[in-house]
Amino acid sequence: MAGTKTLLVLENFIGGRFLPCNSYIDSYDPSTGEVYSRVPDSGKEEVEAAVEAARAAFPGWSARSPQERAQVLHRLADLLEQSLEELAQAESKDQGKTITLARTVDIPRSVQNFRFFASSILHHTSECTQMDHMGCLHYTVRAPVGIAGLISPWNLPLYLLTWKIAPAIAAGNTVIAKPSELTSVTAWMMCKLLEKAGVPPGVVNIVFGTGPRVGEALVSHPEVPLISFTGSQPTAERITQLSAPHCKRLSLELGGKNPAIIFEDANLEECVPTTVRSSFANQGEICLCTSRIFVQKSIYSEFLKRFLEATRLWKVGIPSDPSASMGALISKAHLEKVRSYIKKARAEGAQILCGEGVDKLSLPPRNQGGYFMLPTVITDIKDESCCMKEEIFGPVTCVVPFDSEEEVIKRANSVKYGLAATVWSSNVGRVHRVAKKLQSGLVWTNCWLIRELNLPFGGMKSSGVGREGAKDSYEFFTEVKTITIKH
């Protein structure tokens, strides 16, 4: 009983107030495997209360000018930045990611999301055309849609939650957000800052809980006309089914099976460390991570040698260790799922060159029950293998050789996903040519994960529907109206 007193207990944030819940879910510290917090197990009742609060707040918030809303977003960004270290510590503990990544990526990007959309909302223009022969002038106006339902994942908790909240409220909508029940703490912490930032009650509502209870109630609610979701394809299929009777607007950012294509003229000094990072950053739990590495045959052996050396230097450690390159995976179930792919690869005759089942993982006694695994490299694997076709979402990557440009493009495009790709070559004509032919929503050449938030983000094929970014998010979170004036 003494241990239960130390548990962090979260509450829903509805209508500007923290509200307790009738039942709770245990949340685990990924680095120890121990319960450390309790998350509300909300359902239809809480979602209904959030809809009422969001509905009541919409007229006043949507009537504010973009400039007034932008000021509120800037104040919230400032408050998040002032709490950066506290938020980073919480994100690292809750998700299992390294404290270094939380400090340098997750929380700074969360701050930037509010600043970016506070600025971009001030710079959109509308369309206007004349029909002089008819004596008419046509122009467009945009207005907020209403209540936005936002569902964010567990891998980049505050980063991706704010990527949705910021454009939604900047455009004048009110929101009901459901973070993952696995990583809810930083969303709850952000709620403590909303009143001080000047966010009116009901503009941002956070309802914690599971997909089947909170998510389905939110998606199927007739007064929530649009849903923005980041997560898995099976969940997206369920969202599509539930929202279809209401003809809801959907933005679905889903998974990836992202290729890196490394040509013989690639600069390996830059390519190798970047590809290690793109494969294993955040424990490989990023939808943009590289999980298929195609290397031109003439440099395959040299690349593989350097890649393995660099991978073995990628330190797996407790998340609070500033020198750790990689922390713990999100949950026991997810760790077992990732390990199952390595078992399947081995059964198919593939070679596991380093990592799981090959090298020894050393952890402090307190962390022996944590969800850790070493970065793992697989070779001698066929393109038809599940490890080359399915999203593993862990620190596992496959390295295979290729001969020609035409061949590798065909192989890179042979999966159902089309989110991101990287191309390594010093031939400018080739990188343009290959980038154009790859079926990916994002293509990085000679780099990885350099983002320009103005430009569209999203994938092709089963990697999603719609795009996010300055213009795309604005258009998603607003309704356009054409007005004709005869004079």
**11 given a catalytic annotation:** no
8-254+463-486 under CATH 3.50.50.60, yes or no? no
Tens digits of residue pLDDT in 389-402: 999 999 999 999 99
Rg (alpha carbons) of the chain, rounded to whole number: 23
CA–CA gap between residue 63 and residue 380 (Å, rounded)? 61
Q: Which of 253, 285, 391, 468 is catalytic?
A: 253
Q: In what order do the strands lie in the sheet with 24-29?
A: 8-9, 34-40, 24-29
- CB of 207 within 8 A of CB of 50? yes
pLDDT band of 2, cuts 50, 70, 90: very low
Kindly state the percentage of the chain with pLDDT values over 70: 99
Domain 258-445, CATH homologous superfamily name and number:
Aldehyde Dehydrogenase; Chain A, domain 2 (3.40.309.10)
Name the residue ranges covered by the structural domains of the chain: 8-254+463-486, 258-445
- What per-residue confidence (pLDDT) applies to 5? 61
Tens digits of residue pLDDT in 263-316: 999 999 999 999 999 999 999 999 999 999 999 999 999 999 999 999 999 999
- CB of 361 within 8 A of CB of 374? yes
Q: Is the pLDDT of residue 370 over 70?
A: yes
Q: Identify the residue whose tokens are 């960004």.
A: 77
Residues 6+ apart with CB under 8 A from 216: 238, 242
Tens digits of residue pLDDT in 66-102: 999 999 999 999 999 999 999 999 999 999 999 999 9
CA–CA gap between residue 228 and residue 230 (Å, rounded)? 7
Pick from 13, 333, 277, 287: which is nearest to 156 by CA?
A: 287
- CB of 371 within 8 A of CB of 33? yes
Return the ∠ at Cα 352 (arms to 347 and 356), rounded to 5°.
100
- State whether residue 401 is helix, strand or coil: strand
